[in-house]
Amino acid sequence: MASESLTLERAGEREGGGPTVLEILHDWAVTVDHKRLGLLYIVYGVLFLAIGGLEAAVMRIQLMVPNNHFVTPQVFNRMMTMHGTTMVFLVGVPILFGFGNYLVPLMIGARDMAFPRLNALGFWLTAFGGLLLYFSFIGGEGLAGAGSAPDVGWFAYAPLTAKAFSRGHSTDYWTLAILLGGFGTVGTAINIVTTVLCMRCPGMTLGKMPLLAWMFFTMSAMTLIVMTPLAAAQIMLTIDRYLGGHFFDTQAGGSALLWQHFFWIFGHPEVYVLIIPGFAFVSEILPVFSRKAIFGYPAMVAAVVGIGFVSLGVWAHHMFTVGMTSGANSFFALATMAVGIPTGIKLFNWLATLWGGKIRLRVPMLWCLGFLFQFLIAGLTGIMLAAVPFDWQVSDSYFVVAHFHYVLVGALVFAIFAAMYYWFPKATGKMLSETLGKWHFWLFVIGFHITFDTMHIPGLLGMPRRIYTYEADRGWALLNMICTVGVLFQAVAIVIFLWNVIRSLAWGKTAGNDPWDAWTLEWAVSSPPPHYNFALLPVVRSRRPLWDFKHPEDPDWKYQQ
């Protein structure tokens, strides 16, 4: 009674009764609510997605014609470094952790994450890491040109990062920003692992968890393992630069390869850390729009955990050209191709989920189908790159650039858009426009294929990555022009998406609790979900509690033990 009257009193202080803007901002800044932190992560990631996209556009304009002078080599190299670093550390990881934060407690029937304060700390560390990185543009040599943003590439190979080759502080901004963001990432990973293991609602055994929870669990466990070598490498590099260490300082007998090992033992599993949440979204959305249970749940779980383990042993496939022995090269080819087996199993299971269903081609489903098609191609070019002798030709060429953009855009970004269209109604209570969504999808698909299908070819024609310009006699000009044209389509599609979000927040159709007729727990609560999600903890008997509820005559628990 006392608290209620206090609230009324405070609300009454203002005309109109609502909280002030400052109060709202304060609420968001001090929040420890998993849903708000999830949204903060996602908004933060989308903001940097726009910035990283602009950096990509600068590069594509520069490469449109041979010997172009749109930007200087120094600016191009900074754009290329910042684009890569931004997209991996400030876009991919935050957006995915945002979804993890938002969805995992809801889907396992929990009221919040296991450690709400750690959760807030993780977000703010990540956020400040990103700001620190971008402060490098103005924090160093000044605003002339591109200031002193890092220009050593997103994997910052030693000894290019040594004091002798990287003067000033740009590399330090890169190192410290990643270190800082890394601590935040570890915090959130610990949180997701603990939440999944300890906070599931009554009846939800590990074998009855939604696949999304399994996949975020795997991804977070991997994160815990692989952030360690990355943080170690950053600390070693800082010791080299400021305390006279010689880990990577080749002029004093250090090892350039040591950095590569440290970086890629983080860097390759990181790719799976990014794509496994993509699998998670598709594994939840695809069944709902096929109107069928996911095919082969145990196989899907086994495959994703298998990918998690095997991907820890494939890092040196980024290093086939550094002169390893033929034995080592063959081993890493074997390990890398072996990842193709669980990956294939996942793809076949998704295909079998479609088979015999009643596929509803709504916008989230379109993005999922785009994901399947492009992930197939990305996987196959991945196998080609694991084929060592072919890799000797196309490693560090535009073929590789095309391959990993197929993975990270064609698969991951498509899965993220699927997730955004699918869970937007849950988070906001409003539907996104289906028409604008289709414009967004088709323009993006067309733009994506124009840019990234074409991009494989200059690689096969000998164009290395990370060059700020190229010679006219190489025959790469037309292809580069085509790649750049595709960017335009993608940019328009993103603008349509942002407009769709704004428009739907203001005037969108009300969503209701369960607009997609779905089966997991988050659809049992209101949209947006109430504080602490569940007034009464749900009790589940199968993997699809809402299916059981909607089909009492034919519930899942009859078939799943």
- Write out the binding residues for another protein, residues 447-466 only, by CB under 8 A: 449, 453-454, 456-457, 460-466
Among 20, 26, 29, 72, binds another protein (CB under 8 A): 72
Residue 45 contacts residue 116 (beta carbons within 8 Å): no
CA terminus-to-terminus distance, the chain: 47
Q: CB 291 → another protein: shortest distance, Å?
A: 5
Residue among 17, 73, 168, 202 that touches another protein (CB under 8 A): 73
Q: Give the residue with the Cβ less far from another protein, 533 or 542.
A: 542
Cβ-based nearer residue to another protein, 336 or 500: 336
CB of 387 to another protein, least distance (A): 5
- Burial of 249: CB neighbours in 10 Å, binned 0-12, 13-18, 19+: buried
Q: Is 351 in the site for another protein (CB under 8 A)?
A: yes
Smaller CB distance to another protein: residue 234 or 395?
395
- Alpha-carbon distance of 199 to 534, in angstroms, equals 13
Question: Binding another protein by CB under 8 A: which of 160, 235, 488, 537?
Answer: 160
In angstroms, give the least distance from the CB of 28 to another protein: 40
Among the candidate windows 262-270, 273-281, 446-454, 529-537, which touches another protein by CB under 8 A? 446-454
Q: Label each residue of 407-460 as H, E or C.
A: HHHHHHHHHHHHHHHHHHHHHHCECCCHHHHHHHHHHHHHHHHHHHHHHHHHHH
Sole residue written with tokens 């200031």: 147
For residue 70, how many other CB atoms are within 10 A of its CB?
16
CB nearer another protein, residue 156 or residue 215: 156
DSSP string, 250-310: GGGT--HHHHHHHHHHHHHHHHHHHHHHHHHHHHHHHHHHHTSPPTTHHHHHHHHHHHHHH
Span from 66-74, 173-181, 200-208, 262-270 in contact with another protein (CB under 8 A): 66-74
Cα separation values, 243 from 100, 132, 240, Å: 39, 22, 6
40, 88, 345, 418: which one binds another protein (CB under 8 A): 345
Q: Find the shortest distance in angstroms from Cβ 16 to another protein.
A: 45
Q: Which of residues 289-328 bind another protein (CB under 8 A)?
A: 290-293, 295-299, 321-323, 325-326
Q: Which of 11, 341, 505, 539 binds another protein (CB under 8 A)?
A: 341
Footprint (CB under 8 A) of another protein, residues 249-288 = 250-251, 253-257
Residue closer to another protein by CB (options 330, 510) is 330
- The single residue among 126, 329, 480, 527 that binds another protein, judged by CB under 8 A, is 329
CA 393/CA 400 separation, integer angstroms: 11
Q: Which of 33, 55, 112, 151 binds another protein (CB under 8 A)?
A: 151
Question: Using CA atoms, how far apart are residues 514 and 522, in angstroms rounded to an integer?
Answer: 9
Q: Build a one-symbol-per-residue string for 192-231: x at contacts with another protein by CB under 8 A, - elsewhere.
A: ----------------------------------------
- Please give the C-alpha separations between residue 392 and each of 320, 327, 385, 414, in angstroms, as whole numbers: 7, 15, 9, 30
From its phi and psi, is residue 433 left (phi > 0), alpha (psi between -120 and 50) or beta? Answer: beta
In the block, residue with structure tokens 């990631």: 45
